[in-house]
Amino acid sequence: MKAIILAAWEGSRLRPLTNTIPKPMISIYGKTILEHNLESIYKYVNEITIVVKYKAEMIENYLWNNFKWVPINYHMQNDEKWTWAAIKWIESDFDLIILNWDSIFNKNDLKTILEYKWYWALVKQVANPEIYGIFKVDSENNIREIVEKPESYVWNLANLWVYKFNSSILEIVKHIPLSKRWEYEITDAINSYVNNYPLKAIEVKKEFIDVWYPWDILNANAHFLEKQKESDIKWDIEKWVTIKWTVTLWKWSILKAWTYIEWNVYIWENTSIWPNTYLRWNTVIWDNCKIWNAVEIKNCSIWNKTNVAHLSYIWDSVIWNHVNIWGWFISANVRHDNTNIKVMVKWKLVDSWLRKLWIIIWDNVKTGIKSYSMPWRIIENDSFTNPWEIIK
C-alpha cells in the first residue's frame, strides 16, 4: 500500500505563523503535524509520497528521504487549482491511503481503518452539514454520492479527507473537468469513483484535532497534555520545586528552585526555568528558551530560542522563535464585556469561541520593558515595542 500526504497548501488562516513556515511543519506537543499523522500510518505502507509546494524545501530538509525506514518521495504541485490536481501526475499500481494534513487523527482510529479490508472514506456526523462535503450512504454505509456544502439537508456524514482507494482513482483524477469554480473538485473525483467501485463510509470513534487558526495550536497542545498521567523527567530539578500535576522535562533542561508547576506542562530540550516561576495549565515551551525569575505563564505555546524576562505575565498566547520579552510584560486576555474574542482572519472577523485569548508574537520580536497588551493582538516579524507601550 502507498500513502499520499496532501501538504502543498500554505495555511493562510494561520498567518502570521505561516509567513515563515509551512503549516505541516507547525509543532504540536513535540511533533510536527506531519509527524503525528506519519506515526499513525507508516507501519501499514511501503512508500510515502508527500505533495508539496509552499516552502517545500523546509519539509524535504526536515524529513529527508524516509520516515522510520519507509521511503519518502516528494511530488511538487503545479499551479493548477485544488491540491488533488497534483495527484494526476502520480503513478501507482498499489492501493492508496490519501490523507490531508489539516487535522491530526487519533492513532487508534487510523489503526482500525487501516486494518479494515474494504475501501473507505473517513467521516464524522455533524450538526451543520451545510459547511462540509456530505456523503450520502445506503443502509450498509456504501457511499452513493458526495455533495459539497448542500443547501438543503441530504445527510449528516461529513468528509474528513482521509481515504483508501484502489489505484483507479489516479486515472479518474486525470479526466475530471474543471468545475464552475474553475477548480478540480474532490467531489467530482469521488462521485466518479463510487459509480464504478465500492467505497464505504467509516465513522471516526475518537476525537480528532483541526488546526485551522492560530488559537487551535493551544487547543491541540491541550488535547495531548491532558493525557499526561505522570511526569517524565529526563534531566535536572533543583530542590523546592513543586509539581502539582505532571511535567515532561527533556534533556539539558532545568527547573530551578521554587519553580511551581500546576496542571500539565511540557518543556523541550536545553531550556532553563528560573526561580519563583509559575507555569500552569497546558503550557508548552520548546528548546533553548530561558524563562527568568518570577514569571507566570498559563496556556501558552512558546517556541525556540525565546527569552521571557523577570516579572512578566503571559496567558493564552502563541509566541514564536527568537523572541525577547523584557521585564514586567503584562497581557490582558479577557474583554471588559466578557464576550468571545473575535479575530480578523483573511479580512473577515472570525469568532474564536474563546473568552480568553491574548497575543501572537512572531519571529525576532523584542518588547520594551513594562509593555502591555490588549486582548488578542498580533506582533509581526522583526518588530519591537517601546518601554511602557500599550499594544492596542
- CATH number, position 267: 2.160.10.10
In this structure, are 146 and 226 located in the same domain? no
Beta bridge partners of 315: 298
Q: Give the mean model confidence (pLDDT) for residues 135-164.
A: 86
Location of C-alpha cell 509566541: 319
- State which residues form the domain around 9: 2-210
Q: What is the pLDDT of residue 237?
A: 92
In this structure, are 204 and 280 located in the same domain? no
In this structure, are 203 and 221 located in the same domain? no
In this structure, are 190 and 238 located in the same domain? no
123 close to 228: Cβ distance less than 8 angstroms? no
Of the candidates 247, 320, 240, 229, the residue with the CA atom closest to the CA atom of residue 283: 247
In this structure, are 253 and 198 located in the same domain? no
In this structure, are 66 and 202 located in the same domain? yes
In this structure, are 195 and 233 located in the same domain? no
Q: Give the mean model confidence (pLDDT) for residues 20-28.
A: 87
- Going by pLDDT thresholds of 50, 70 and 90, the confidence category of residue 91 is confident
Boundary residue ending a domain (150, 184, 210): 210
Listed in sequence order, the residues at least 6 apart from 323 whose beta carbon sits closer than 8 Å to its beta carbon are 303, 306, 307, 361, 363, 364, 365, 366
The enclosing domain of 99 has a CATH number of 3.90.550.10
Q: Give the mean model confidence (pLDDT) for residues 68-75.
A: 91
pTM of the model: 0.85
Q: Tell me which of 62-66, 207-211, 240-244, 354-358 is least confident.
A: 354-358
- Going by pLDDT thresholds of 50, 70 and 90, the confidence category of residue 301 is very high
- Going by pLDDT thresholds of 50, 70 and 90, the confidence category of residue 183 is low
Q: What is the pLDDT of residue 355?
A: 64
Omega before residue 16 within 30° of 0, cis: yes
Of the candidates 14, 56, 8, the residue with the CA atom closest to the CA atom of residue 301: 14
In this structure, are 239 and 282 located in the same domain? yes
Sheet holding 318-319, edge to edge: 232-233, 246-249, 264-267, 283-285, 301-302, 318-319, 359-361, 377-379
Q: Give the mean model confidence (pLDDT) for residues 313-339.
A: 86
Question: Is the pLDDT score of 83 beyond 70?
Answer: no
Boundary residue ending a domain (152, 185, 210): 210
Average pLDDT over the chain, rounded to an integer: 86
Q: What is the pLDDT of residue 346?
A: 67
Q: What is the dihedral of CA 23, 25, 31, 34, to 10 degrees?
A: 80
Better-scored residue on pLDDT, 40 or 181: 40
CA gap 4, 125 in Å, rounded:
25
Question: Is the pLDDT score of 150 beyond 70?
Answer: yes
In this structure, are 188 and 246 located in the same domain? no
In this structure, are 281 and 194 located in the same domain? no
Q: What is the pLDDT of residue 310?
A: 94
Question: Is the pLDDT score of 347 beyond 70?
Answer: no
In this structure, are 29 and 127 located in the same domain? yes
Active site annotation includes 336: no
Number of domains in the chain: 2
Residue 64 gets the label, from left (phi > 0), alpha (psi -120 to 50) or beta, of left
- Going by pLDDT thresholds of 50, 70 and 90, the confidence category of residue 80 is low
Boundary residue ending a domain (210, 237, 267): 210
Q: Give the mean model confidence (pLDDT) for residues 156-185.
A: 80
Q: Give the mean model confidence (pLDDT) for residues 173-177.
A: 79
Using alpha carbons, list the distances in angstroms from residue 121 to 105, 135, 143, 203, 326. 13, 9, 9, 9, 50
Q: What is the pLDDT of residue 188?
A: 83
CA gap 368, 372 in Å, rounded:
9
- Choice among 36, 75, 223, 310 that is catalytic: 310
Question: Is the pLDDT score of 207 beyond 80?
Answer: no
In this structure, are 369 and 232 located in the same domain? yes
Query: 286-299, pLDDT tens digit by residue?
Result: 999 999 999 999 99
Q: pLDDT above 90 covers what percent of the chain?
A: 32
- Going by pLDDT thresholds of 50, 70 and 90, the confidence category of residue 174 is confident
